[in-house]
Amino acid sequence: MKDGLLLIDKHEGCTSHDIVASARRILRLKKIGHCGTLDPAATGLLLLTVGRATRLTRFLIRAPKVYEGSARFGITTDTYDTSGEETSRQGTAELTPEAIDTAMESFVGNYLQTPPPYCAKKVGGVKYYELARRGEQTPDEKKEVTVFEYHALEPWQRDQDLDFLLSCASGTYARSLVHELGQMLDCGAVLSRLRRTRIGSFRIDDAVDIETLRRHLSPEDEADAPAAAATPTTSAWIPFDDIPLPFDEIVADAQQERRIQHGQSVLIRDLASREGDWIKVLNRRHQFIAVGSVVERIGTGGVGVVQPKVVFH
C-alpha cells in the first residue's frame, strides 16, 4: 500500500514543500506531491498524493476549499497579512459590524481578484514573490474567482480581530479577499490567521500532523510505511482504489478492462455523464484502473464512448 492519499494537518511556520519533504523522509518514498499550497503562516488540511496517486493531482487540486481565518482592521502590509511590512495605518472609529457584514456579502459569487504581490503565481516563469523581493512591480492581472461563503463567525468587536469563514473555488486568495475587504471599508485590513478545514470532501478532522506521522512509524512498519503511519487516525490514509474524485465512476467488464489497459476507447451503457466529462474507471475487483473522458454520447439511451486518458497498470 504505497499508493494513495495522506491527509496532513500542516503546522504554522513551514511551507507546503517542507511537509512534502518531511513525508518523503518519513515514508522513505520519493514520489509524493501535494494538492494546493498553504502559505507558511497558514495551518490546516494538506492533501499529499503518494505513489500512483501523484497522477491525480490535476483532478484533486481543483476541489473547492473551506477556511477559517481572522482579519485585522486598520492596517495594511505589503504581503496582505501580518507577516509583512506595514504600509499604512488608519482608524476604525467609523467601522461597524453591519458595514463589515454588508461588505463581506458583496464578495459572494464570481468576481475579478488581484493576486497578492507575495504569492507563488508565476509570470514569464518567475514567481510573484521573487519579483516583489527584488523590488519589482508585480502584474496587476485580475482573475475571476468564485466565493461561495464569506461571513463573520461572530459580530466584530472594536480593537479585536474578526473571525470569519470562507468557502471558495480553487485559485482564490484569502489574503486578497481580506485586503480588498479593508479597501471597501476605507480602513485597510490584513489576514492575521488562516486555517484550511476542508478540500472537497476531505476534512481536517481526518488528518494527522507530521509529528504524529513520524512517531507512529516504527522499524517493523517500513515495508508498509504509509498505511502504518496513518494507523492512529485510519481516515488519514486513503488507499489508491478508494480515492474519491469529483466526478462519476463506472465499472468496466473484463473485455473493456483489456481495451482500457491498451489505451483504447470503450462503449459504456447507462452512462449519466455528459460529453467532455471525466470518469473514474474501476474493474470488477474494485481496482482503480483509469481516468477517462466521455468523448461521445450516442443517442438518448445513456450510451457513450469513454476514452482512457490516464491508465494505471
Residues with a known catalytic role:
39
Can you tell me which residue has the cell 459569487?
A: 109
**Angle (CA) 159 115 99, round 5°:** 35
DSSP secondary structure string for all residues of 209-256: -HHHHHHT--GGGGGGHHHHHTGGGGGGEEEGGG---SS-EEEE-HHH
Beta strands 278-283; 249-252: pairing state: parallel
CA distance 46 to 197: 9
Q: Are 283 and 252 in contact (CB under 8 A)?
A: yes
Q: What are the cell numbers at 244?
A: 474519491
Beta bridge partner(s), residue 234: none
DSSP state of 54: G
DSSP state of 1: -
- The residue type found at 167 is S
Give the relative orientation of helices 97-105 and 174-184 as an angle to the nearest 10 degrees: 130
Q: What are the cell numbers at 309?
A: 486518458
